[in-house]
Amino acid sequence: MELMEALRTRRAVRSYTDEQIDNDLIRELIEAATLAPSAMNLQPWAFVVVNGSARLQGLSDEAKRYTIDNLPKGSPLAGHFADKEFKIFHDAPALIMICAKNEERQSDEDCCLAGQNLMLAAHAQGLGTCWIGLSRPWLNATSVKKELGIPPALRPVAPIIVGRVQKLLSATPRDEPLIIWGR
């Protein structure tokens, strides 16, 4: 797939088939993520993979309860979470968390760059992805890290669900970019 086509056609996918993703394909996506640039080439990322729709459904329920309990008063997201049908992980068969391995200033941003690579690589393989930023506080809770086997020193930064697309939405319009030419 040509790069500009991939950038124009990649979507946040929230509707997946129940087909599981092969571990070799997940490794390929992770390898693509590691090709991202990083400050001083520190490559501050580690990857935690949770496979299986049933496992992710249970985790989705936990994450939803945690998020509801920790939303700021008056949050516009409250109504969204009140929907009994809403599932944070959208019935995806895999969750790949890109975690920062250190406390360096740029590590979170470097993990985000790796996340974009992973999502574009998945798109090129015919897979859908969605960055589930709402799950980050829950994923960083000590009890959740223990449950998922995430070492305490790792910090989940980029939680990305992956799966075969069941329903692809059309492109959302993009605003004209604000460009300021510096002097």
Is pLDDT above 80 for 119? Answer: yes
How is residue 71 written in tokens?
A: 């939303």
Mean pLDDT of 44-51: 98
Mean pLDDT of the chain: 93
Q: How far apart are CA 58 and CA 55, in angstroms?
A: 5
C-alpha distances (whole Å) from 20 to each of 94, 115, 120, 140 are: 7, 20, 19, 25
Angle at 165 between CA 54 and CA 76, to 5 degrees: 75
**Could you report the per-residue pLDDT of 48-65, keeping only the tens digit for each?**
999 999 999 999 999 999
Rg over alpha carbons for the chain, rounded to the nearest Å, is: 17
Whether the Cβ atoms of residue 60 and residue 134 lie closer than 8 Å to each other: no
Q: What is the dihedral of CA 135, 43, 11, 145, to 10 degrees?
A: -20
Q: How many alpha carbons fall within 13 Å on the CB side of residue 25?
A: 19
Predicted local distance difference test score (pLDDT) of residue 109: 97
Go through the domains of the chain in sequence order and give each one's CATH number.
3-71+80-164 (3.40.109.10)
- Calculate what percentage of the chain has a pLDDT beyond 70: 100
Minimal CA–CA distance to 151: which of 136, 139, 164?
Answer: 139
Q: What is the tally of helices (H) and strands (E) in the chain?
A: 7, 4
Assessment of whether the complete model's pTM goes beyond 0.85 = yes
Amino acid at 139: L
pLDDT at position 171: 77
